[in-house]
């Protein structure tokens, strides 16, 4: 187990009573990782309470398997720095890519917040204290880490983007195209299902209508197969890029030894 020194960070929110949307504090460093506090002025799921959360900054950049255990407190201060209220999480919560925030949806009743001292000059002052008690896992990428896109399996490439940021934009564009293709595939499947249902409702006496529907279904199937083939080709292209980068990194590592 690796203990880190406690970290404290203070920030202010001006014109707090006028705020409706979620507010995020500036990032701060603790235990080798950036964090921030998320504030819901009008509550998160509980409308009559102030909601407060400690969050890992940029969780999408975390390596697969990254984990930290941390205890934390969030304090409300007056203009002189005196503690007026605090919420403590004494037990070490597990932060990871899947659960990147912990906190309290019911941190403080909004009526309590209107009492003297909390909002002097309509300013809310918060202080967060964090102690990263354990580095559970720095995270890694293994050959088993896969990403499912439209039914196809593709290796996750986030770690390679760290080593080669120059190709990240191109790869991102490919993934955006794949996502858009996914929406198109879903739409085509819905249209295909609707056409099948409509064909079942058509009577045998209406032969021309049945024939028209069958032709429509045939065309939809062709378009669906075309989009699936296009998605498969894009996935293959992305995997080829990843494979080439892996080979390049292995060569560099071998030279460094």
Task: Give pLDDT tens digits for 147-180.
Answer: 433 333 344 444 444 445 454 445 545 444 554 4
Per the prediction, the chain carries an average pLDDT of 73
For the stretch 10-50, pLDDT in tens is 999 999 999 999 999 999 999 888 999 999 999 987 788 99
Each domain of the chain, given as residue ranges in start order, spans 7-137, 146-256
CATH no. of 146-256: 1.10.287
Q: Is the dihedral of CA 77, 34, 28, 5 positive or negative?
A: positive
Quote the Cα angle for 40-45-50, to 5°. Answer: 35
Strand partners, 129: 8, 73
User: Taking a C-beta distance cutoff of 8 angstroms, is the pair 168, 48 a contact?
Assistant: no
Which DSSP category does 191 fall into? H
Percent of the chain with pLDDT strictly greater than 70: 51
pLDDT average, residue stretch 112-120: 88
The dihedrals phi and psi of 88, each to the nearest 5 degrees, come to -120, 140
Q: Is 116 exposed, middle or buried (0-12, 13-18, 19+ CB in 10 A)?
A: exposed
pLDDT higher for 10 or 248? 10
**Weakest-pLDDT range from 106-120, 154-168, 208-222:** 154-168
Report residue 236 as tokens.
């293959």
Q: Architecture of 7-137 per CATH? A: Sandwich (2.60)
Residue 75 pLDDT > 90: yes
Interatomic CA distance for residues 171 and 237, integer angstroms: 10
pLDDT higher for 76 or 217? 76
Q: What is the pLDDT of residue 77?
A: 96
pLDDT higher for 133 or 255? 133
Q: What is the pLDDT of residue 137?
A: 55
pLDDT higher for 257 or 8? 8
Closest CA to 136 of 97, 192, 86: 97
Whether pTM exceeds 0.75: no
Interatomic CA distance for residues 79 and 7, integer angstroms: 21
Interatomic CA distance for residues 184 and 244, integer angstroms: 30
Q: Answer whether 7-137 and 146-256 agree in fold.
A: no
Q: What is the pLDDT of residue 153?
A: 36
Q: What is the pLDDT of residue 55?
A: 95
Q: Within 13 Å and on the Cβ side, how many CA atoms surround 226?
A: 8
- Alpha-carbon distances, residue 150 vs 8, 147, 178, 185, 243 (angstroms): 44, 10, 8, 8, 21
**Weakest-pLDDT range from 43-52, 106-115, 128-137, 239-248:** 239-248
């Amino acid at each position: 187990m690796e203990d880190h020194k406690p970290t404290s960070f203070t920030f202010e929110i001006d014109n707090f009573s006028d705020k409706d949307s979620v507010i995020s504090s500036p990032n701060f460093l603790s235990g080798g990782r950036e964090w921030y506090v998320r504030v819901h002025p009008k509550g998160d799921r509980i409308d009559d309470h102030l909601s407060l959360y400690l969050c890992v900054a940029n969780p999408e950049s975390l390596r697969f398997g990254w984990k930290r255990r941390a205890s934390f407190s969030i304090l409300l201060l007056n203009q002189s720095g005196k503690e007026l209220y605090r919420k403590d999480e004494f037990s070490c919560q597990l932060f990871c890519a899947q659960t990147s925030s912990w906190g309290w949806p019911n941190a403080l009743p909004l009526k309590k917040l209107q009492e003297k001292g909390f909002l002097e000059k309509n300013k809310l002052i918060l202080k967060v204290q964090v102690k990263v008690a354990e580095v559970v896992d720095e995270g890694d990428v293994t050959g088993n880490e896969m990403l499912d896109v439209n039914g196809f399996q593709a290796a996750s490439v986030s770690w390679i983007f760290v080593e080669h940021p120059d190709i990240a934009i191109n790869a991102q564009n490919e993934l955006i195209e794949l996502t858009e293709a996914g929406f198109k595939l879903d739409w085509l499947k819905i249209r295909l299902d609707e056409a099948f249902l409509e064909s079942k409702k058509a009577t045998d006496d209406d032969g021309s209508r049945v024939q028209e529907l069958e032709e429509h279904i045939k065309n939809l199937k062709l378009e669906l197969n075309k989009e699936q083939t296009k998605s498969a080709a894009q996935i293959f292209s992305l995997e080829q890029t990843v494979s080439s980068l892996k080979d390049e990194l292995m060569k560099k590592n071998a030279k460094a030894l």
